[in-house]
Amino acid sequence: MNSKYSKYEINRKRRLTNTILSSALVYRVLGAFLLAALLLAGGGSQLTSAGVEPAFPQGMNPEQVAGTIKANAQALKAFSNQQRMQLQLKGETKKVTLSQISYDMYGNQQKTQLSEDPPADSSPQDSGGGRRGRLKAAVVAKKTGEFKDMMNNIAALVKSYTELPHEQMQASLKQATFSAGEGDMSGAVQIAMHNMNQSGDSMTIWIDRTAMLFRRTSIATTYEGNPVTLIAYYAMLPSGQVYMAQAILTYPKKEVVVEIDNSNY
């Protein structure tokens, strides 16, 4: 019964981590990428006035890009969609949730969980006791807390990139590399920024030249000296709006992968 109790606690831990990542990371990342684009627009005019070559390639008006992205974000609030989140640990799927996402009349996000696999109450409760059982419970509780703290810290780390202060974004843009997208990013402008919060880190954004909206974003950084990556892919609705179709966060040190998929708009 004690081993079953341990499994119950670990499943419970995954559910807590799942919730943390969903609210504190993914949607903040999406919204903050939009904010970053607006800052890019502001940076374009300031860099030009300072005598630096314009950041945006010829034919891309930064103010128009910012306006298009802002309008796209607003238009998406008229839609509802479903979001699937999957948490993997050491190659094994620990939790899958499906939620309905919508916005109220004030533009505030409303999230309703539709399903959870395994269900939160699917594991039996502990009915055992004794010193050994108490020790196991204490070990599980300690590891649960450590895992939760780690994922909270990683979420905060990613947020430090997606919600950069205006001045820091401006400084990063002055050193950014602008180039034409290649391969499946052909037709996009690649904006690569490095050494933003840590030596050797990077944040790269691909913007479509025609639609002037995101096609991909990626972050590569480290947590306690170990690599952390986040990559988001975007897709276009038949009505023309672009949305974040998928986001994948990986922390190889602990073999953690969190995947979020948005669909059914």
The 3-class SS string of 71-137 reads HHHHHHCCCCEEEEEEEEECCEEEEEEEEEEEECCCCCEEEEEEEEECCCCCCCCCCCCHHHHHHHH
Rounded CA separation 139/153 (Å): 21
For residues 96-101, average pLDDT = 94
pLDDT range class, residue 59, cuts 50, 70, 90: low
pLDDT at 70: 80
Cα 164 to Cα 169: distance, rounded to the nearest angstrom: 6
**Predicted pLDDT of residue 122:** 59
Q: Report residue 2's pLDDT band, with 50, 70 and 90 as the boundaries.
A: low
Strand order through the sheet with 81-89? 109-117, 92-103, 81-89, 256-263, 242-251, 226-236, 214-223, 202-208, 188-194, 177-180
Cα gap 171→175, rounded to integer Å: 7
Written as one letter, the residue type at 36 is: A
Residue 49: per-residue pLDDT = 33
14 contacts 87 by C-beta, under 8 angstroms: yes
Q: Which of 79-88, 104-113, 126-135, 195-204 has the lowest mean pLDDT?
A: 126-135
User: Sign of the CA dihedral 151, 197, 226, 205?
Assistant: positive
pLDDT in tens, 211-230: 878 899 999 999 999 999 99
Determine the 3-state secondary structure of 56 from DSSP.
coil
What integer pLDDT is reported at residue 66 of this predicted model?
Answer: 67
Contacts of 82 (CB under 8 A, 6+ apart): 98, 99, 100, 101, 114, 262, 263, 264
End-to-end CA distance of the chain: 44
- pTM beyond 0.75, yes or no: no
Among 8-12, 128-132, 146-150, 256-260, the range with the most confident prediction by mean pLDDT is 256-260
89 pLDDT above the threshold of 80: yes
**Residue 147 — very low, low, confident or very high, per pLDDT cuts 50/70/90?**
confident
The answer to whether the CB of 137 falls within 8 A of the CB of 13 is: no
Residue 60 has what pLDDT? Answer: 64
Residue % of the chain over a pLDDT of 90: 34
Residue 22's pLDDT band, with cuts at 50, 70 and 90, is very low
pLDDT reading at 150 higher than 70? yes
Q: Which residue has the higher pLDDT, 218 or 170?
A: 218
Is residue 80 very low, low, confident or very high in pLDDT (cuts 50, 70, 90)?
very high
Q: Where are the domains of the chain?
A: 2-263
Nearest to 258 by CA among 93, 122, 12: 93
Of 120 and 109, the structure prediction assigns the larger pLDDT to 109
Write out pLDDT tens, residues 224-250.
999 999 998 999 999 999 998 998 999
Give the separation between CA 60 and CA 198, rounded to whole angstroms.
30
How, if at all, do strands 256-263 and 226-236 pair? unpaired
For the cut 70, the answer to whether the pLDDT of residue 82 exceeds it is: yes
Give 171-215 pLDDT, tens digit per residue: 777 788 888 899 999 889 898 989 988 999 999 989 888 887 889
